[in-house]
């Protein structure tokens, strides 16, 4: 099947090099009235940094997919008359909120960008060398040396995007997640009755009472074995890490609703056991096909350790109760 929405890129590996510091100057004052003046060498400029900056208007790392090497400018050298060298130009990389920075060699987490305009110096530029005027002393009136600038730093870095949302929808393909998102928010995800219609996370802002709102994320459908990399699951499980509440969705026509929920839970546990600490809600989707008697029978078999709701996005059943429950969970 052809992959749609290929503009969504949530993983890039880039090589970054900061600028090196400019050398200090070993200059002596010379002018019409002074034949042999004292040291007046200026300091070198600082090398440019590589800086990450959060941008709430961005949603993908696509712009870095084809820009694998990013270099900052070197600092300029100092000169006579105590003139400071020009600081190197820093490279500012704008990234979506939810971007995680890791050292590619060690895998160590370095930083997370979570707010608009937040900045993180990923690679520090080298300091400029000090000019010879700094080294003048009572015993050395004419130092003929200055410091070289500190060298640049470089390395490979991994940027991963984890979608920022309050509620994450978790379910097998065709559980009705995209339909729910399209009904409760203004998002327009692609909806069709075949697996993996959703190939990228979709975000929607859900309006609540008194101009309040929360963000819901439709994560591509998980399949059994997703934590081992089957299907699309592994690629997108990282997005669930950001959600404070997880809405598990199992369709009413599933053979065994409780078992399906437990398989989904098992995949999350295998990927990251900490995901089980999040608030959970179970929504039985497509419930317009059930009468009250069937709902009562199904309810007896559902897990007892979490709130369960029968909902229908198409018939708009149970959606107000669902939003009330989500809001309570988010603001407890």
* Residue 197, domain CATH: 3.40.50.300
Do 153 and 102 fall within a single domain? yes
pTM above 0.75, yes or no: no
pLDDT of residue 148: 94
pLDDT of residue 115: 93
Can you give the CATH number for the domain in which 17 is found? 2.70.210.12
Helix axes 292-301, 257-271, angle to 10 degrees: 40
Do 152 and 178 fall within a single domain? no
Total Cβ atoms within 10 A of residue 322: 22
Name the phi and psi angles at 303, rounded to 5: -60, 140
Do 143 and 248 fall within a single domain? no
DSSP tag of 134: G
E-strand ranges in 7-131 read 11-17, 50-54, 69-71, 91-95, 99-103, 109-113, 119-123
Number of compact structural domains in the chain: 2
Decide which of 118, 133, 161 is a domain's last residue: 161
pLDDT of residue 120: 96
Name the phi and psi angles at 246, rounded to 5: -110, 125
Helix (H) or strand (E) holding 240: helix 233-240
- Rounded Cα gap, residues 128 and 220, in angstroms: 49
pLDDT of residue 314: 87
pLDDT of residue 194: 45
Decide which of 107, 134, 161 is a domain's last residue: 161
Instruction: Look at residue 7 and give its three-state secondary structure.
Output: coil
Do 177 and 220 fall within a single domain? yes
- Residue 71: give the domain boundaries: 1-161
Do 106 and 18 fall within a single domain? yes
Do 129 and 237 fall within a single domain? no
Do 262 and 302 fall within a single domain? yes
Do 237 and 139 fall within a single domain? no
The residue ranges of the chain whose pLDDT is under 70 are 1-7, 35, 186-200, 221-236
pLDDT of residue 130: 95
pLDDT of residue 196: 43
Do 107 and 190 fall within a single domain? no
Do 145 and 68 fall within a single domain? yes
The CA-atom distances, in angstroms, between 219 and each of 115, 177, 270 are 22, 8, 17
């Amino acid at each position: 099947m052809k992959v749609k929405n290929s503009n969504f890129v949530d993983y890039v590996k880039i090589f970054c090099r900061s600028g090196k510091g400019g050398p200090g100057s070993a200059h002596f004052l010379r002018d019409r009235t002074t034949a042999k003046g004292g040291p007046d060498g200026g300091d070198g400029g600082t090398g440019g940094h590589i800086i990450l900056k959060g941008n709430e208007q961005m949603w993908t790392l696509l712009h870095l997919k084809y820009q694998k090497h990013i270099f900052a400018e070197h600092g300029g050298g100092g000169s006579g008359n105590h003139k400071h060298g020009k600081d190197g130009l820093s490279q500012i990389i704008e990234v979506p909120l939810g971007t995680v920075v890791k050292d590619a060699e060690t895998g160590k987490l370095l930083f997370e960008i979570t707010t608009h305009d937040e900045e993180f110096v990923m690679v520090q530029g080298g300091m400029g060398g000090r000019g010879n005027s700094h080294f003048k002393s009572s015993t050395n009136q004419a130092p003929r040396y200055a410091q070289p600038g500190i060298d640049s730093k470089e390395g490979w870095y991994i940027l991963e995007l984890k979608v920022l949302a309050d509620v994450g929808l978790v379910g097998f393909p065709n559980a009705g997640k995209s339909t729910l998102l399209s009904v409760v928010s203004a998002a327009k995800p692609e909806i069709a009755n075949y697996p993996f219609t959703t190939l990228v996370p979709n975000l929607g802002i859900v309006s609540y009472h008194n101009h309040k709102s929360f963000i819901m994320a439709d994560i591509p459908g998980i399949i059994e074995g997703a934590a081992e990399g089957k299907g699309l699951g592994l690629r997108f499980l990282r997005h669930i890490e950001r959600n404070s509440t997880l809405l598990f969705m199992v369709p009413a026509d599933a053979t065994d609703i409780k078992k399906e929920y437990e398989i989904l839970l098992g995949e999350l546990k295998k990927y990251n056991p900490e995901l089980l600490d999040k608030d959970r809600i179970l929504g039985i989707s497509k419930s317009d096909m059930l009468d009250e008697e069937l709902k009562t029978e199904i309810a007896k078999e559902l897990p007892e350790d979490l709130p369960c709701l029968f909902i229908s996005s198409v018939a708009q059943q149970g959606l107000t109760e669902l939003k009330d429950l989500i809001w309570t969970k988010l603001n407890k």
